[in-house]
Amino acid sequence: MSQALETPARPAIDLLGALKSGALAAVVAFGLFSLLIGVRTDQGPTGALEIEPRLVALGVICAVAFVGGFARACLAGESLDLAGYIPERIKTAAGHVGRYFGLALLAFAVIEPIAFYHNRYILDLGILVLTYVMLGWGLNIVVGLAGLLDLGYVAFYAVGAYSYALLAQNFGWSFWICLPIAGFLAACWGVMLGFPVLRLRGDYLAIVTLAFGEIIRLVLLNWQSVTGGPNGISGIARPSFFGLPFTDDENGFAATFGLEYSPTHRVVFLYYLILVLALLTNWVTLRLRRLPIGRAWEALREDEIACRSLGINTTTTKLTAFAMGAMFGGIAGSFFATRQGFISPESFTFSESALVLAIVVLGGMGSQLGVAVAAFAMLGAFELFREFSQYRMLVFGIAMVLIMIWRPRGLVATRTPSVFLGKPKEVPAEIVAEARQ
Amino acid sequence: MSAPADPILAVEHLSMRFGGLVAVDDLSFAAQRGHITALIGPNGAGKTTVFNCITGFYHPSVGMVRLTHADGTTYLLERLLDFRIAKLARVARTFQNIRLFAGMTVLENLLVAQHNPLMKASGFTVLGLLGLPVYGHAEAAAIDKAKYWLDRVGVLRRADDPAGDLPYGEQRRVEIARAMCTDPVLLCLDEPAAGLNVRESAELNELLLRMRAEHNTSILLIEHDMSVVMGISDRVVVLDYGVKIFDGTPADVRNDAKVIAAYLGVEDEEVEQAEAEVGL
């Protein structure tokens, strides 16, 4: 018994095994890349197709795989958990930094339009990031809190965008009236999606929601008379500053406030608009988490049967989660429509759903700060790699794989309980339900 | 044993079939208000199936489950949806394999159990979202109630810890505390002593007896631990292969030939005799 309690000695590095594993990796790489990289087809001088072998490139890839496999096997005995090497003092300091990190991020978001007033590119990027932060926070209610995997979230984004565009064009209603209506209509669609999928969980739910997203897109694409089909809707009314349009005339925003007209005013206004909408989403979510409905969502994620044994109506609980998430998606959609001035079904493809879901998963399901950081990192990285557009998806994929290896539960993996008797402490990720599934 | 004078729960001609398998066959028994009624039997006798029928997780193929509150209101449980049984008829249950919300703290678990009253106090979320004090008071009261029950089961010091981090015995007790937070009139415990050591199951006995004495909670109990069954139950119902083979006091059950046969088997000559009777 006492022997078992002793710390096991670290096994010596098994050189032969490591070589073997390196060789195996090289063989696999050879198999994978022999045709992809090893040969290249080209047009010969006579116009015939010629095969040009690229043995050097193939060799480099195999060598890299060998080194990778070898290194991995050498390190297998070592703990890759770097957390153990960090002294306790630095860890607590990091905890303090983490607490203020959200505030710092918020402060940065507030001053960004002032700091980068003359940099239109940064402003536009900021608006884009904030739109995805809002979408991420909205989806976080459905996926992170209630634990219902939704692959068709973009459908609600589309419903919101088209609601605003159609209402504004056909009835001439202003943005501020259309915004809540769009949110409400999207919430109705959320409930509509919710009903048929009440009994489903996990993979099955994901498939149905995926199909739902496609249905909405296809309806928008084919219902020519209403949605304009593939041509979309253009000339959507731009938002005004509570009635003052951003135009270069006497009734415009600039003239009223005695400023020199600049098109940047509108961009800055849009920036603050989406910032406020996103913060509203965040505030409502944080608030709901502390209310019985929010706790019921989390309880539903943890154990549905126990919920029912405690008298919780799981049907309405699930539907409210869908409706809430959809509502924020719809509001973000109206913002998107007013910002772009043009929408078409092309903006609402599955890849948008996948991107928002990736943001939520990467951020750490259920964590508001994590989602914001993930949206920032993901879209920021997309922009950074814009010049190497053909490697963009490759780098994106590798980054996702690496993050899932190192932080499998997302950037912020702990769960903050909603109520305490004593001192607040975090719940480690391993015991939260979605991590166990 | 005669039928109870004031039954809280009356199960009448309950049958549950899964395809060709008859898990519970024409079972009738009643539980007296304020008593601890034990449902025992060998593995696979159909005890948990009976529980699932009572708490609405299964819909019985045949039969009636009638629950009567102290004020005379009657609920036919086989007609209610599972969550309504907990909400309206106020039947709470625990599970054989503990079903706590592992990632939530112990305190949160107990607050989730008070979902329905809290939901009403938060104006179905609207008032709560606006931050009106009505909800604040209700939540403070709910936390007090949770603290009371955690104190009763002796896990108050772990209130802020995730439920999944607690040792097994404490998880069992938290599950009982969580069920009690729904203010049940009937508490159904599915093997509450499973996995507990001798000292812990003695503590459990004491807890259940005090709950019955102080809160007048009627308890229906499935249990294999005979020290619990014999120590605290007022009435014992024995099931074997879905059929009731005994219904009476704990003192009588020890000497009942059928029960002994079901648990321990019978002598060889009796088997031969029985085989001769059916012509084998």
CATH number of the domain at A355, please.
1.10.3470
> Where do the domains of chain B lie, and which CATH numbers do they carry?
1-90+184-280 (3.40.50.300), 104-182 (no CATH)
CB contact under 8 A, A422 and B160: yes
B chain contacts of residue A298, beta-carbon cutoff 8 Å? 101, 103-104, 108
A210 with A152, same domain: the answer is yes
In a domain, A93, yes or no: no
Long-range contacts of A223-228 (CB under 8 A, 24+ apart): A226/A166, A227/A162, A227/A166, A227/A345, A228/A344
Chain A: residue whose CA lies nearest to B108: A419
CB contact under 8 A, B104 and A302: yes
Q: Is the torsion defined by CA of B73, B76, B80, B85 positive or negative?
A: positive
CA distance A113 to A276: 14
CB contact under 8 A, B122 and A291: yes
Q: Å from A188 to nearest chain B CA?
A: 18
Neighbours of A24 (CB within 10 A): 14
On whether any CB of chain A is under 8 Å from the CB of B136, the answer is no
A50 with A185, same domain: the answer is no
User: Is residue B65 predicted with pLDDT exceeding 70?
Assistant: yes
Mutate to test the interface with B, among A310, A317, A430 (most CBs of B within 10 A): A310
State the helix-helix crossing angle for A175-194 and A314-340, rounded to 10 degrees: 140
Q: Å from A89 to nearest chain B CA?
A: 23
Tell me what pLDDT residue B192 has: 85
Tell me what pLDDT residue A261 has: 73
Structure tokens at B169: 């015995």
CB contact under 8 A, B103 and A296: no
B249 — pLDDT class (breaks 50, 70, 90)? confident
β-bridge pairing B91-93 and B186-190: parallel
A93 — pLDDT class (breaks 50, 70, 90)? low
pLDDT in tens, B131-168: 677 777 888 888 888 889 888 888 888 888 888 888 88
User: Is residue A329 predicted with pLDDT exceeding 90?
Assistant: yes
Q: Is B41 helix (H, G, I), strand (E, B) or coil?
A: coil
Check: CB of residue B68 under 8 Å from CB of residue B30: no
Q: Å from A374 to nearest chain B CA?
A: 23
In a domain, A60, yes or no: yes
pTM equals 0.81
> CB under 8 Å to B158, separation ≥6 — which residues?
B106, B150, B166, B170
Q: B252 or A319: whose pLDDT is higher?
A: A319
Tell me what pLDDT residue A437 has: 42
Tell me what pLDDT residue B2 has: 55
ipTM above 0.95 for this complex? no
* Range of lowest pLDDT (A127-141, A169-183, A313-327, B68-82): B68-82
Q: What are the phi and psi torsion angles at B42 (to 5°)? A: -65, 170
B chain contacts of residue A428, beta-carbon cutoff 8 Å? 162
Q: A406 or A276: whose pLDDT is higher?
A: A276
* Range of lowest pLDDT (A2-11, A310-319, B137-146, B197-206): A2-11
CB contact under 8 A, B104 and A314: no
The angle formed by the CA atoms of residues B11, B12 and B13, to the nearest 5 degrees, is 125
In a domain, A28, yes or no: yes
CB contact under 8 A, B115 and A314: no
In a domain, A192, yes or no: yes
A186 — pLDDT class (breaks 50, 70, 90)? very high
Tell me what pLDDT residue A94 has: 56
- Give CA A425 to chain center in angstroms: 26
Size of interface A-B (CB pairs under 8 A): 139
Of A284, A308, A419, the CB nearest to B108: A419
Q: A80 or A13: whose pLDDT is higher?
A: A13
User: Is residue A214 predicted with pLDDT exceeding 70?
Assistant: yes
On whether any CB of chain A is under 8 Å from the CB of B178, the answer is yes
User: Is residue A355 predicted with pLDDT exceeding 60?
Assistant: yes
CB contact under 8 A, A311 and B100: no
CB contact under 8 A, B182 and A431: no
A271 with A214, same domain: the answer is yes
Q: Where are the alpha helices (DSSP H) in A310-422?
A: 314-340, 350-363, 368-384, 389-406
In a domain, A107, yes or no: no
Length of chain B: 280
On whether any CB of chain A is under 8 Å from the CB of B51, the answer is no
A12 — pLDDT class (breaks 50, 70, 90)? low
- Please choose, from the candidates A198, A219, A222, the residue with its C-alpha nearest in 3D space to the C-alpha of residue A209: A198
CB contact under 8 A, A419 and B159: no
Of A311, A432, A436, the CB nearest to B115: A311
Q: A124 or A256: whose pLDDT is higher?
A: A124
Tell me what pLDDT residue A323 has: 92
In a domain, A16, yes or no: yes
The number of distinct structural domains making up chain A is: 2
Tell me what pLDDT residue A185 has: 92
A37 with A145, same domain: the answer is no
**Strands (E) located in A92-210:** none
Mutate to test the interface with A, among B108, B165, B166 (most CBs of A within 10 A): B108
Tell me what pLDDT residue A436 has: 44
Q: Is A309 helix (H, G, I), strand (E, B) or coil?
A: helix
A275 with A405, same domain: the answer is yes
Q: Which of residues 54-113 of B touch A (CB under 8 A)?
A: 55-57, 82-87, 92-93, 95, 99-105, 107-108, 111-113
Q: What are the phi and psi torsion angles at B8 (to 5°)? A: -85, -35
CB contact under 8 A, A308 and B159: no
A159 — pLDDT class (breaks 50, 70, 90)? very high
Share of chain A above pLDDT 90, in %: 14
- Please give the average per-residue pLDDT across A28-55, as a whole number: 83
Structure tokens at A118: 């003359």
CA distance B32 to B238: 16
On whether any CB of chain A is under 8 Å from the CB of B258, the answer is no
- Domain end position, chosen among A54, A78, A102: A78
Average pLDDT score, chain B: 83
A225 — pLDDT class (breaks 50, 70, 90)? confident
Q: Å from A287 to nearest chain B CA?
A: 6
A435 — pLDDT class (breaks 50, 70, 90)? very low
On whether any CB of chain B is under 8 Å from the CB of A258, the answer is no
Chain B: residue whose CA lies nearest to A285: B129
A229 with A355, same domain: the answer is yes
Highest mean pLDDT pick, A86-95, A171-180, A200-209, A289-298: A289-298
A53 with A164, same domain: the answer is no
A53 with A129, same domain: the answer is no
CB contact under 8 A, A425 and B57: no
A252 with A122, same domain: the answer is yes
- Please give the average per-residue pLDDT across A264-293, as a whole number: 88
Tell me what pLDDT residue A187 has: 92
B chain contacts of residue A431, beta-carbon cutoff 8 Å? 102-103, 162, 164-165
- Please choose, from the candidates A372, A315, A347, A359, the residue with its C-alpha nearest in 3D space to the C-alpha of residue A159: A347
On whether any CB of chain B is under 8 Å from the CB of A414, the answer is no
In a domain, A5, yes or no: no
Q: Is the torsion defined by CA of A235, A236, A238, A243 positive or negative?
A: positive
Q: A401 or A407: whose pLDDT is higher?
A: A401
Tell me what pLDDT residue B6 has: 79
> CB under 8 Å to A190, separation ≥6 — which residues?
A156, A319, A322, A323, A324, A325, A326, A327
- Domain end position, chosen among A56, A78, A100: A78
Q: Which domain holds residue A137?
A: 116-436
User: Is residue A330 predicted with pLDDT exceeding 90?
Assistant: yes
The greatest distance separating any two alpha carbons of chain B, rounded to the nearest whole angstrom, comes to 78
- Please give the average per-residue pLDDT across A210-238, as a whole number: 86
A255 with A335, same domain: the answer is yes
- Please give the average per-residue pLDDT across A213-235, as a whole number: 86
Check: CB of residue A340 under 8 Å from CB of residue A348: no
A chain contacts of residue B165, beta-carbon cutoff 8 Å? 431
Tell me what pLDDT residue A79 has: 47
- Please give the average per-residue pLDDT across A41-56, as a whole number: 82
CA distance A135 to A132: 5
Tell me what pLDDT residue A76 has: 65
Reported as type and span, the H/E element at residue B240 is strand B235-240
User: Is residue A327 predicted with pLDDT exceeding 90?
Assistant: yes
A55 with A148, same domain: the answer is no
On whether any CB of chain A is under 8 Å from the CB of B148, the answer is no
Q: Where are the alpha helices (DSSP H) in A195-313?
A: 202-222, 224-227, 253-256, 264-289, 292-302, 304-309
Check: CB of residue A34 under 8 Å from CB of residue A18: no
User: Is residue A158 predicted with pLDDT exceeding 90?
Assistant: yes
CA distance B64 to A258: 80
On whether any CB of chain B is under 8 Å from the CB of A437, the answer is no
Q: A95 or B152: whose pLDDT is higher?
A: B152
In a domain, A91, yes or no: no
Share of chain B above pLDDT 70, in %: 96
CB contact under 8 A, B116 and A428: no
CB contact under 8 A, B129 and A284: yes
* Range of lowest pLDDT (A328-342, A400-414, B48-62, B191-205): A400-414
Q: Which of residues 269-288 of A touch B (CB under 8 A)?
A: 284, 287-288
A143 with A257, same domain: the answer is yes
- Domain end position, chosen among A78, A103, A132: A78
